Amino acid sequence: MKGKIFLPLLFAASTALAQDRMTPEILWSLHRVSGEAVSRDGRYVYYSSKTVDWKSEKSTTLHFKVGVEDGVKKEFTTTAGKTITQRYDDTWFAYYDNFVYKSVDSGATWTEIYSSAHDAENVWVSPNGKYLAYSKRVLVKPMMGSDIYSDLPNTTAQVYTDLNDRHWDTWADGKYSHIILVNLKDGSSKDILEDLQFDCPLKPFGGQEDLVWAPDSHGFVYVCKKKVGKDYARSTNTDLYFYDVTTGKTDNWSEGMMGYDTNPVFSKDGRKLAWTSMASDGYEADKTDIIVMEVADRKKKMNLTARWDGTVSGFIWGSGEGRADSRMFFTAPTEGTEQLFEVNVPYNGDAEKAQVKMITKGKWDVTGIVGQAGSKVIVTRCDMNHANEVYAVKTNYGDMICLTHENDKIYAPLLMSKTEMKQIQTADGVTMGEWIIYPPDFDETKKYPTLLYCQGGPQSALSQFYSFRWNFQLMAAQGYIVVAPNRRGMPGWGVKWNEAISKDWGGGPMQDYLAAIDDACKNSYVDKNRLGCVGASYGGYSVFMLAGIHKNRFKSFIAHDGLFDLRSWYGTTEELWFANWDLGGPYWKTPMPESYEKFNPINFVNKWNTPIMIVQGGTDYRVPVEQGLEAFQAARLHDVKAKLLYLPNENHWVMHPQNGIAWQREFFKWLDETLK
């Protein structure tokens, strides 16, 4: 009898105790906040809050507006699940079940304006309301056996004659995302890409931002990479095309610009077009600049950020006093954070007079810009302890006011982790920043197991981001110190530092990692006998490399979707421009790029002697499945303790809620086993 009473009480006590620290289940219960728009008068911000029920794997999204000055929150509906696609001042447009609707009362009531947008993925209505453009997948070149042979409806055959047969997590099926233009007056429609093997929006992540109407409704600019087959797989050269709805003529407005040209936005008066641009074809992590072009004279282009030693994430046109197109606000990584910046737009087209100014500063990431409300810029913000919320930024001083509080109740009982930016010396004498994340209730008189976190990308910022998988708050809550170095190859520390990783994957960056963990071990509270190393993508590659060169520093490794054999990876990955730029070309090139020998993890597997857990997604075509399987097999055949976590329906990420929780449970179970 005593046992039956004691056990439930013990369980209740332990559960109550656990609630003061982040768990996978709490993490997945958080609201995911997205800023959507600012009202025309600047009084309200519209935003959405999405929740995920990890037990049913179903999500619910609610829409709200919040007062910029008073912070009062009100729920509003879009009627039966309609997806809002645009807001032009007080007129809204939405799409649902092949129908396009218009609302002039902030979504309270809707009027049908078009009923045949079958299978539309994105919808764009012209500002004057006379035209509609929408994207849908159109069969252009049959590749599926059932499309090739009408008498074989059950065949699973797929036939390819060129590259670009896969992208991210999907096999090509001969269908391309095309733009359908509709004249709403007479209902006539036209596929502006006709029988071409091109996509708009861009695959795999393009969306509503890849098409923008001119304010005068004369036409629209769309983003497209007009290449096919192996040329597509080797190039990052996207362009901005203007389609004139009256003449049916298409012009390339970014012709001669050889890298990524994306995110076109017209100035309010339509006289200028701005977009983000990279200079080099094939270099997907090149410096991103803001280009401004005069629409009336397209030869007049200004690079506003050319002289600034950083890379732009996203931007909006500014508004307010004076010329409406006189300034822009943008976000960019800087020294382990993501902040809000401002740049003026010189009236005379002299880019030399463009000056960049940082507006915000602090231990957070400004993750996006929603719009401008008077003298305030509305943004979303997170940090390593808090998911996204919406903030108003006073541009004169950089002060930030939190407008939404979707997760306050969930966070209230939780102990937060301390995060600290440290500066250390690398092996070659360069100063490097690194984030240290400490467990809640950290006590420097105790010793803690410590994890070296290896960032992916490889050229992506290691900032105050909040991930629902690689969550530093969750790691620290389980009692781990996390060391997260901003090793070479990361933006936010100057263009030179960002570029330093190319063709040197296993060189300088590995020494940066070792310098970071060695520096951490100088602290008495770091248990040098319980060090782990974890990472995904390039971070997974880093784990595989360090497993062969760490000289017994670590007791445990975890690699997720990591590159294990660069030769087989080159032969199976789908974006060849990435491998060509970062590795120096194919392995059959003469002379062979040194990466395939000097920096190839498979060449160091004979030195593996430390337990390793390997995670692999089954539909990951960026780092295909053989990479994880080869690594697991090599580990076991070398008598190394290993675990394979295979997720057959996941791509390069983990998207399904229950897979995400299983991932986190296995992650910490492995660490518990190997870092005792």
pLDDT at 6: 32
Instruction: Please report, for residues 204, 262, 304, 469, 585, the alpha-carbon distance to residue 389 in angstroms, rounded to integers and kept in the order given.
Output: 26, 26, 29, 18, 42
Strand 526-536 versus strand 556-560 pairing type:
parallel
Sequence-ordered list of residues with C-beta below 8 angstroms from that of 444, at least 6 positions apart, any chain: 523, 524, 525
Domain boundaries, the chain: 416-674
Q: What's the residue count for the chain?
A: 676
Whether 279 contacts 285, CB under 8 Å: no
Q: Where are the alpha helices (DSSP H) in 317-428?
A: 408-411
What are the residue ranges in the chain where pLDDT is below 70? 1-19, 77-81, 320-324
CATH entry 3.40.50.2300 includes domain 416-674: no
Catalytic hit among 31, 386, 560, 652: 652
Instruction: Name the active-site residue from 289, 383, 519, 620.
Output: 620
Pairing of strands 642-647, 612-617: parallel
Neighbours of 205 (CB within 10 A): 9
Q: Tell me how far CA of residue 218 lies from CA of 18, 183, 213, 254, in angstroms.
A: 60, 12, 8, 19
- The whole-number pLDDT of residue 11 equals 35
pLDDT score at 347: 87
Amino acid letter for position 395: T
pLDDT of residue 621: 98
Q: Compute the distance between CA of residue 421 and CA of residue 431 in angstroms, rounded to an integer.
A: 12
Dihedral of alpha carbons 454, 456, 458, 459, sign: negative
Q: Decide: pTM greater than 0.85.
A: yes
Digit-coded pLDDT (tens) for 204-238 = 999 999 999 999 999 999 999 999 999 999 999 99
Count of CB atoms situated within 10 Å of the CB of 106: 16
Give yes or no for a contact between 165 and 151, defined as CB atoms under 8 angstroms apart.
no
- The pLDDT of residue 325 is 76
Alpha carbon distance 40, 38 (integer Å)? 7
**Kind and range of the H or E run holding 473:** helix 472-477
User: With the CA atoms of 381, 383, 387 and 390 taken in that order, what torsion angle do they form, in degrees rounded to the nearest 10?
Assistant: -20
Active site residue 652: yes
Chain centre distance of CA 159: 32
Q: Which DSSP symbol is given to 156?
A: -
d(CA 288, CA 124): 26
Gap between the Cα atoms of 108 and 17, Å rounded: 45
Query: E-strand spans in 249-364?
Result: 250-252, 261-266, 272-277, 289-294, 301-303, 314-317, 327-334, 337-344, 356-358
Running DSSP on this structure, what letter comes out for residue 519?
A: H
Is 620 among the catalytic positions? Answer: yes
**pLDDT for 87:** 82
Q: Which of 313, 537, 542, 556 is catalytic?
A: 537
